[in-house]
Every structure is written in C-alpha cells, then in structure tokens.
Amino acid sequence: MAQTKIVTLFLPIYLVAQDLDLDGVDDEVDECPNSSFSDIVEKNGCKSETLNREWSVNLLYGNSYFENTLSHFFQSDFKYKSVSTGIIFYKETINYLFSYEINTHNFLISTSAETNFKSEYSISSDVNYIYSDSLVIFFGYIYSSFEKSKLEYFTSKSHTFYNGISKSFGQSSFSASYSNSSPFEKDTQNLEFIATSYSLQISDWSFSISASKNIIDNSAFFYSSSIGFQY
C-alpha cells in the first residue's frame, strides 16, 4: 500500500516491527501478510475462522415501522458453503427462506426465495459487483405474490427492479438504493422508493438501521432496525 511504503521510506530507523497489511499483527508472525484492510483477523494475522469456515449460524432480531404500526420479527439462518436456509417468525405467520450464491471474480450473484407455504411467496435475484474492498455496486429483481394487503400501497402481485451502491468504512457501511415496483393489476400506479441503510459490525455482532420513502407522492415511509449475532 502506498501509505505504508512512504512511512517505511522516511522512518526506517524507528520501525522496530512492520505491519505492511495494517491488520495489527507484526509481519514477523503474520501468516497471512496480505490481508485486506477491512478483514477481521485472528492472532496469526489470518481472517477470522468464523468468516472463513464453510458453515455459519446467524440469529437476527428486528423491528419495522409503517403507517403508525410497529412490528417485530426473529430470524434464524444456517449457511453451508454457498447454500443457506432460514426461518422468520412474525407475529401472525412464519416464513421460510432459501438462497444460493455464486462468487466469481468480482461478482457475487445470489438467488433466493421466501414463502409461508400457503399463498405468499417471493423470488429474487441479486448481483453485486465488488468494485473495491470498500465499494460495491448492486442491482436485482424481485417477483412477489401474496394476499391482498389492507395497506393501500401493496398489491397481490408485483415485480420490482432495484439498484444501488454500498460503501464501507472499516467495520461500518452505508448504502443507498432506488427501486421501482410495477403491480400486475391494471390501472394501478407504480411505486418508486429511495432507501438508505447503515450497518455496523463489531466482532460477531451486527447492527443495522434502514429507511425508505415513496418518492411519487411522498406518502409511504418505512423504517426498520435489527441486531444480529453470527456463530
């Protein structure tokens, strides 16, 4: 890294130990001397086994706010290599999740489905272009079908296109996105939303908050937050 080379050039006498990848582990004992700056590493300088191992378990608790209504959910996911499955407990229903992802070159491509095995389900596909260690550009598509909602902004069937950008700063990240949802019902107006989110990763814990707004008539506003733990 350019900054490290400058320090080494001008202060060679004062550097008792070097850490060229800036992961906090001296190069003399660093078994992975080229770790990414954003990686969480163990004492040997290599990326945390929790992030490297083939399987993981995620627990998530969150809440959302819409039209003066506050709702809660609990989610549990199990991931093995590129396949993950999970379950979400809502107040009145239980939904099941399935997803598969492919990581190739600078792209992370995933396909997922969510259903309650009754009348509601959604299918989505997402593409993430990893431009750099801290910058990701993403876009995707969602097809959803569910019972007619009591909320005026939702219809029974729709397809949604979205795109956005995510920027990380150390252990935290910020994202902004735009989405356009087209209902299948005739004479029904499209919905356009802008959304922002912030997340923070501290060891095995994660925290996130997000908000979105209908930009067509400034009517609908969504808010959600969550706390998660990865094992």
Q: What does the pLDDT read at residue 225?
A: 95
Residue 4 banded pLDDT, cuts 50, 70, 90: very low
Query: Which stretch of 15-19, 121-125, 173-177, 187-191 has the lowest confidence by average pLDDT?
Result: 15-19
What gap in Å lies between CA 117 and CA 123, rounded to an integer? Answer: 13
Q: What is the pLDDT of residue 35?
A: 63
| Residue 121 pLDDT > 80 | yes
CA distance 168 to 133: 8
What's the pLDDT score for residue 117? 87
| CA atoms of 138 and 96, how far apart (whole Å) | 24
pLDDT, tens digit, 9 for 90 and up, residues 132-189? 989 999 999 999 887 655 445 555 788 899 999 999 998 899 999 999 988 877 667 7
Q: Between 215 and 27, where is the model more confident?
A: 215
pLDDT, residue 10, reads: 41
What global pTM score does this model have? 0.72
Contacts of 198 (CB under 8 A, 6+ apart): 172, 173, 174, 208, 209, 210
201 CB-near residues (< 8 Å, 6+ apart) = 40, 171, 172
- What domains, with CATH codes, occur in the chain? 1-42 (no CATH), 54-230 (2.40.160.40)
In this structure, of 38-42, 56-60, 166-170, 180-184, the range with the lowest mean pLDDT score is 38-42
Q: What are the helix and strand counts (H, E) for the chain?
A: 2, 12
Q: CB-based burial of residue 129 (10 Å sphere; 0-12 exposed, 13-18 middle, 19+ buried)?
A: middle
Q: How far apart are CA 30 and CA 203, in angstroms?
A: 20
Round to whole Å and give the CA distance between 112 and 140.
11
Is residue 53 over pLDDT 80? no
- Model pLDDT for residues 72-86, shown as the tens digit of each residue: 999 999 999 899 999
How far, in Å, CA of 134 to CA of 38, rounded? 8
Q: How confident is the model at residue 216 (pLDDT cuts 50, 70, 90)?
A: confident
CA dist 212 to 77, 139, 157, 166, 195, Å? 25, 16, 20, 15, 4
